[in-house]
């Protein structure tokens, strides 16, 4: 198995990308002047692909995700979802955040939390319950429908957040360090779950993580960010196939090689002079 690379954040894909980021720059006005955080980011996420973003701490990953999900406007450049300009949170994009405890409504049962976005869409009750039950079963939570989030472990709560996104059937799923606050064993389980549901639902996923192993294990491509002002330093193709498992995939020499490459790029980025 060999890893091939593309020099910028743009894949050599003929079809229209699900998410397309073009020349995206973002600066903040601070008391000490204008602070340039992102500079000329180009990145494509092809339909059905899983792209992970890694970068040094404070590189601007959260800022980038806010721009992608329409929660913030870039200073320059644009984001397109299936060819349409993102200038507000798009209905066909779902976001799963790190902090599951704040993303679930404690007064709603698991199934009501899962069905909430469908309810807001005006979907008939029978259909939204059916979709939500199927999504909960896909994340291994069948039988937990009438429990409340506070009765579940952290890992189970994050599964509910994933089920809610699956039930919604978005065109793209954006995940912001979703497994950062669960223990290592649960994290490994959730990573495997993501690979399963991604296959089953043919999801297009953009996944931000601090964890290099996680990025290489999950991604079809890993976009490595530079230090601030942040650009896509390199987009690395991960040719490890779609059937992956923690034991076998992480033992492959190709995995170790990719991991070392990403680590080296991040270490170099940390040493770059900061703006
Ligand atoms: N509203 C804001 N006003 C001014 N500066 C901001 C604002 N939001 C973020 N920043 C600055 O922009 C830079 C990037 O922040 P951001 O949170 O996007 O990075 P990150 O890569 O997600 O960070 P981390 O690795 O800690 O998760 C930081 O230096 C931060 O202080």
**Assembly ipTM:** 0.94
Confidence band of 5 (pLDDT split at 50, 70, 90): very low
Find out whether 217 and 250 touch, Cβ atoms under 8 Å: yes
Q: Are 39 and 25 in contact (CB under 8 A)?
A: yes
Q: Which atom of ligand 1 approaches the CA of 63 most closely? A: 18
The rounded Å distance from CA 268 to ligand 1 centre is: 20
Cα distances (Å, whole numbers) of residue 128 to 36, 55, 206: 43, 38, 25
Six-digit token string for 125 = 């009750």
pLDDT band at 98; cut points 50, 70, 90: confident
- CB distance 203 to 249 below 8 Å: no
Pocket test for ligand 1, best of 61, 66, 233 (most atoms within 8 A of CB): 61
- Residue 2 is predicted with a pLDDT of 41
State phi, psi for 35 to the nearest 5 degrees.
-115, 115
Other Cβ atoms closer than 10 A to 180 = 15
- CA–centroid distance, 58 to ligand 1, in Å, is 5
Q: Does 242 score more than 60 pLDDT?
A: yes
Per-residue pLDDT band at 25 (split at 50, 70, 90): very high
Biggest CA–CA distance in the chain, Å, is 57
Atom from ligand 1 closest to the CA of residue 230: 14
Averaged pLDDT for residues 152-165: 90
Judged against a pLDDT cut of 60, whether residue 202 lies above it is answered with yes
Residues with CB under 6 A from ligand 1: 28, 30, 35, 37, 57-63
Q: Which residue has the higher pLDDT, 42 or 14?
A: 42
Residues 6+ apart with CB under 8 A from 179: 98, 158, 186, 187, 190, 191, 209, 214
Q: Average pLDDT, whole number, for the chain?
A: 89
The token pair that represents 268 in the structure block: 């170099």
Q: Is the pLDDT of residue 244 over 60?
A: yes
What is the percentage of the chain residues whose pLDDT exceeds 70? Answer: 94
Instruction: Judge contact between 44 and 237, C-beta under 8 A.
Output: no
Identify the structural domains of the chain with CATH numbers, from first to last: 1-92+170-237+264-275 (3.40.50.300), 105-168 (no CATH)
pLDDT score for 268 = 87
Q: What is the pLDDT of residue 225?
A: 93
For the chain, percent of residues with pLDDT exceeding 90: 62
Name the phi and psi angles at 224, rounded to 5.
-100, 125
Q: Which atom of ligand 1 is nearest to the CA of 210?
A: 25
Band the pLDDT of 180: cuts 50, 70, 90.
Answer: confident
Average pLDDT over residues 94-106: 84
* pLDDT over 60 (residue 13): no
What is the pLDDT averaged over residues 35-62? 92
> Is pLDDT above 80 for 101?
no
Q: Are 42 and 9 in contact (CB under 8 A)?
A: yes
> Is residue 106 a contact partner of residue 147, using CB atoms and an 8 Å limit?
no
**DSSP symbol at 230:** B
- Residue scoring higher pLDDT (252 or 12): 252
Is the pLDDT at 10 greater than 70? The verdict is: no
117-154 per-position pLDDT tens digit: 998 888 999 999 999 999 999 888 999 999 999 999 98
* CA dist., res. 8 & res. 176, Å (int): 22
Kindly tell me the burial class for residue 201, based on how many C-beta atoms sit within 10 Å of its own C-beta (0-12, 13-18, 19 or more).
middle
- Please determine, for residue 7, whether its predicted confidence score (pLDDT) is greater than 70: no
């Amino acid at each position: 198995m060999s890893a091939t690379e593309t020099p910028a954040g743009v894949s050599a894909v003929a079809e229209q990308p699900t998410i397309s980021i073009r020349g995206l720059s973002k600066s903040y006005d601070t008391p000490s002047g204008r602070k340039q955080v992102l500079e000329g980011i180009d990145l494509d996420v092809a339909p059905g692909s899983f792209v992970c973003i890694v970068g040094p701490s404070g590189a601007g990953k959260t800022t980038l995700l806010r721009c992608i999900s329409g929660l913030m406007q870039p200073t320059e450049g644009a984001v397109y979802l299936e060819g349409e300009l993102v200038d507000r949170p798009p209905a066909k994009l779902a976001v799963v955040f790190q902090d599951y405890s704040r993303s679930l409504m404690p007064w709603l049962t698991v199934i009501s939390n899962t069905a909430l976005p469908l309810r807001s869409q005006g979907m008939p009750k029978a259909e939204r319950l059916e979709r939500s039950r199927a999504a909960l079963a896909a994340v291994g939570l069948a039988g937990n429908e009438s429990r409340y989030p506070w009765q579940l472990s952290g890992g189970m709560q994050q599964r509910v957040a994933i089920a809610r996104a699956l039930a919604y059937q978005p065109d793209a799923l954006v995940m912001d360090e979703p497994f950062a606050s669960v223990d290592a064993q649960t994290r490994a389980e959730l990573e495997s779950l993501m690979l399963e549901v991604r296959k089953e639902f043919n999801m297009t996923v953009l996944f931000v993580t601090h964890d290099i192993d996680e990025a290489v294990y999950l991604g079809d491509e890993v976009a490595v960010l530079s230090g601030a002002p942040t650009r896509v330093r390199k987009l690395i193709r991960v040719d490890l196939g779609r059937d992956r498992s923690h034991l076998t995939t992480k033992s492959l020499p190709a995995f170790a090689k990719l991991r070392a490459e990403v680590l080296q790029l991040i270490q170099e980025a940390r040493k770059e002079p900061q703006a």
